[in-house]
Amino acid sequence: MNAKQKLTKALDVIEKDDVSVKLYIITRHIKDGVKKTAKVIDKYSFQARTVDLSKDLNEFFVGIAKKQIGRMVGNDDYELEEYAVIGDDLGDKIYTYALNNALSFSDVISNQMLQGNCPSISSLSEVKNDLWAYSIRFNHGDNSIYTFRKASKGKVATDELRTKLERISALFDTDDAELKAAITETISFDNKLDCLYGNGGFLIFRKAGFEQIVGLEEEFTEAASGVIETIAKTELVEGIDLLEAAIKEKRSLLKTLSNIGKKGTHSTFDNDEIKKMKDTLNAFEGKELKLSDEGKVVLENAEDVNYFVKLLNDYYKQGVVSGKYYGTNSGQIIAPVGNNA
């Protein structure tokens, strides 16, 4: 199915007059026996818990889903593309992602939400500190669609840590014209969707939100750290600490290094490649690659780091057909088929 067909199928469920709506609050926890600082992928577990909704909240969530998905259905330009860490990221694209690629997050869907194995909560204080995301299930008959949105504990307000005097709110009871004290707990929702799940896979509307929800941020960090470790072992780069610091501040660099790790373009880094890097940077940027007297790459500032990452990622490319040169961080390694190799 193309993008419009997939979205239309989801919208058909949501628009049913008797659609059933359920809210799941999703929390994230460090797995038993794993330290928070441990450098391992898949170190978190997720738990989904349910909350009863009033009629007006049901209508609120249905309205959001109808508006967001309906807008995309009405745009014939939307294209479906398999998720990639670094892509062209042009407008009007929806990305697909298989559930079994989602590591620990797949458990919260497969073994909890789909199985109806989710406890309910009696207070928002139970989930406030570990709040990670929320999901809305739209069900009609045998068909269910789940929308997801990233959340954080900043979205929740409880009165548990305040004194009695500090936490008293007031509401006006119109039945007896009396102002009454009310202790309240609140959680805020917005009008956006990061992704939806149905039929074994995700449709991604906002890459950043989706990547955070399913835990890809941790994967990016581990992959990027692996690239830096490999480069450091060559002892051919001075100032590698600047690169380590940069990926903590710039998400784009983190994702680019993660993509380098996936493609493996860092694994052949040696003196010969340094010479090619020097020629390439001069040809396309008119810049001189900083080298030490021993021929090592020298990183002294943010510009040096950016150019080095570009070179390591084969940012400068040439089209096979047109022969034209391009500058892009996206793309995947391919090879000619059969006897053309």
Please tell me the predicted confidence (pLDDT) of residue 119.
94
The residue type found at 263 is K
Please tell me the predicted confidence (pLDDT) of residue 294.
96
Please tell me the predicted confidence (pLDDT) of residue 166.
43
Torsion (CA) 236, 241, 246, 251 in degrees, nearest 10: 80
Q: Where are the beta strands (DSSP E) in 85-213?
A: 93-98, 131-140, 143-150, 156-157, 169-173, 178-182, 186-187, 195-198, 201-204
Please tell me the predicted confidence (pLDDT) of residue 39.
60
Please tell me the predicted confidence (pLDDT) of residue 58.
92
Residue ranges of alpha helices (H) inside the chain are: 3-14, 55-73, 105-107, 164-167, 207-214, 216-234, 240-249, 251-263, 271-285, 302-312
Contact 50, 22 (CB under 8 A): yes
DSSP state of 176: T
Percent of the chain whose predicted confidence (pLDDT) is above 70: 88
Please tell me the predicted confidence (pLDDT) of residue 163.
46
pLDDT band of 138, cuts 50, 70, 90: very high
Which tens digit of pLDDT belongs to each residue from 165-179?
Answer: 444 445 555 566 566
The bridge status of strand 93-98 relative to strand 79-82 is parallel
For residue 4 the two structure tokens come to: 């419009």
For residue 141 the two structure tokens come to: 């008959």
Residue 36, CA distances (Å) to 33, 43, 296 in order:
10, 8, 35
Phi, psi (rounded to 5 degrees) for 208: -60, -45
Residue whose token pair is 């009007």: 92
Round to whole Å and give the CA distance between 215 and 104: 8
Q: CB atoms < 10 A from the CB of 203, how many? A: 24
Mapped onto helix, strand or coil, the DSSP state of residue 216 is: helix
Round to whole Å and give the CA distance between 215 and 28: 10
Contact 84, 330 (CB under 8 A): yes
Lowest mean pLDDT among 67-81, 132-146, 284-298: 67-81
Average pLDDT over residues 270-290: 97
Please tell me the predicted confidence (pLDDT) of residue 167.
43
b/e per residue 211-229 (b: at least 16 CB within 10 A): bbbbbbbbbbbbbbbbbbe
Round to whole Å and give the CA distance between 229 and 165: 55
| Nearest alpha-carbon partner for 7 in 190, 205, 149 | 205
Q: At what angle do helices 251-263 and 216-234 cross, to 10 degrees?
A: 70
pLDDT band of 124, cuts 50, 70, 90: confident
Residue whose token pair is 């009863």: 52
Which tens digit of pLDDT belongs to each residue from 189-236?
Answer: 889 999 999 988 999 999 999 999 998 888 888 899 999 999 999 999
The mean pLDDT of the chain is 87
For residue 277 the two structure tokens come to: 């890097």
Comparison of pLDDT for 132 and 88, the residue scoring more: 132
Residue whose token pair is 């070179």: 311
Percent of the chain whose predicted confidence (pLDDT) is above 90: 59
pLDDT band of 332, cuts 50, 70, 90: confident
Which tens digit of pLDDT belongs to each residue from 25-77?
Answer: 999 998 888 877 666 667 889 999 998 888 999 999 999 999 999 999 998 88
Round to whole Å and give the CA distance between 291 and 296: 5
